[in-house]
Amino acid sequence: MGMTITEKILARRAGRDRVTPGELISCRVDAVLGNDITAPLAIREFSKIGVGRVFDPDRVILVPDHFVPNKDIKSAEQAKIMREFARAQNLTNYFEVGRMGIEHCLLPEQGLVGPGDVVIGADSHTCTYGAVGAFATGVGSTDLAAAMALGETWFKVPETIRFVYEGEPPEWVGGKDLILYTIGDIGVEGALYQAMEFTGPAIANLSMDGRFTMANMAVEAGAKNGIVPPDERTLEYVRGRAQRPYEVFQRDPDAAYARSVTYDVSKIEPQVAFPHSPDNTRPVTEAGHVDIDQVVIGSCTNGRLEDLRLAGRVLERRRVHRNVRLIVFPGTQAIYRRAMDEGLLATFITAGAAVSTPTCGPCLGGYMGVLARGERAVATTNRNFVGRMGHPESEVYLTNPAVAAASAILGRIAHPGEVI
């Protein structure tokens, strides 16, 4: 019996000829990641191990992005712990304010993750890097500390579910809609501790930005990781970026899957995930009349250049509704600069939006857009649990950037076709 892509990557990093689902294995890691919420805990635990130095200063990556630029004294202290550790350990990849970005947009852009890698991060959306054909998953801060010291960690090999996307998507339907539709179909525990392998003609035609969005939200279905088979589009993205050699893996023809699910994307509309779960999805045309107070465009899910271009297309020569606050968060400094060069930031500001430096901001109820009691937000973020963006009695509706922009204009959840 052959192996899936996920199994092949884990086998190689475990020094094994093969692995099978359910096995407990120890793997070498290619990169470990921490942010300003999780890294300080890991650093404290690391200090108790007694090794003194990290296993490789090129492969331990620290990105302060959740509450940075610092929102208060506590967040400043958290960032200071990271900064001092990075200097003491002489870390190559510590990203300070002005150079940092939202971590899961930044690492692929900087070529710090590539095909065939095993990447762990003390952040659940580390699974984003599966878009480049890596095995990437979130871990706790104590596991991160051990990996910083040893350069390895343990896994239970997950089963894999194969998702095949056929057909051509309608206008305004992209990676966000495909993954929301999928989560709506299988549920938030539909892939619990399993790998989600995204494949099929629609994935082959999907941009890298769209693939990052899909892999990013695999964890919202409970998955251990999401992964896209590397192809020429993948290699075109990583060439010239990759800071280390990489290895491309493909599934064996006789690979065993837990199950296979096929979707015809031509029948999928832009999706909206209603409160309070990413699987509470419905087509935007069935959303009804839902007045809103705020729109957030950005995050590690949809803060990339393609996302900003899509929102800009809808907002160009239009105005944000007087009852709505629109906040735009480019994913990285490079994306911010490209958006500025292309005139997108001018489009947003002219429309009445506030444009932020790259940061996670309100996605996790952090700052720069926290919701009050009873307020509703449309967001291109990845979670809409109770209290996720602020008050427990607020509501978050997840959409793609085009739907978010249209909703900002009309003051209610809206299809982009209503304004274009």
Whether residues 107 and 254 fall in one domain: yes
Mean pLDDT confidence for 279-299: 98
What's residue 78's pLDDT?
97
Whether residues 138 and 181 fall in one domain: yes
Render pLDDT for 124-168 as a digit per residue (tens, 0 to 9): 999 999 999 999 999 999 999 999 999 999 999 999 999 999 999
Nearest to 387 by CA among 372, 401, 398, 400: 372
Whether residues 133 and 167 fall in one domain: yes
Whether residues 303 and 235 fall in one domain: no
- State which of 221, 238, 262 marks the end of a domain: 262
- State which of 240, 262, 284 marks the end of a domain: 262
Whether residues 90 and 194 fall in one domain: yes
Mean pLDDT confidence for 303-319: 98
Whether residues 14 and 105 fall in one domain: yes
Complete DSSP assignment for 302-355: H-SHHHHHHHHHHHTT----TT-EEEEE-SSHHHHHHHHHTTHHHHHHHHT-EE
Tell me the CATH number at 228. Answer: 3.30.499.10
Residue 259 CB neighbour total at 10 angstroms: 12
Q: What's the DSSP call for residue 177?
A: H
Percent of the chain with pLDDT over 90: 99
Mean pLDDT confidence for 321-343: 98
Whether residues 41 and 119 fall in one domain: yes
Render pLDDT for 21-35 as a digit per residue (tens, 0 to 9): 999 999 999 999 999
- The beta strand positions in 29-134, using DSSP E, are 31-35, 60-63, 93-94, 118-121
Whether residues 208 and 336 fall in one domain: no
- State which of 202, 235, 262 marks the end of a domain: 262
H-helix or E-strand spanning residue 294: strand 294-298
Domains identified in the chain, total number: 2
Domain span holding position 369 = 271-418
Mean pLDDT confidence for 301-313: 98
Render pLDDT for 214-272 as a digit per residue (tens, 0 to 9): 999 999 999 999 999 999 999 999 998 999 999 999 999 999 999 999 999 999 999 99
Angstrom distance (rounded) from CA 201 to CA 263: 11
Determine if the pTM surpasses 0.75: yes
Whether residues 33 and 153 fall in one domain: yes
Whether residues 105 and 126 fall in one domain: yes
- Write out the two tokens for 303: 């803060």
Angstrom distance (rounded) from CA 99 to CA 332: 8
Whether residues 399 and 295 fall in one domain: yes
Residue type, 254: D
What's residue 379's pLDDT?
98
CB 149 within 8 A of CB 54: yes
Query: Residue with structure tokens 């602020």?
Result: 390
Whether residues 33 and 101 fall in one domain: yes
What's residue 1's pLDDT?
82
Rounded mean pLDDT of the chain? 97
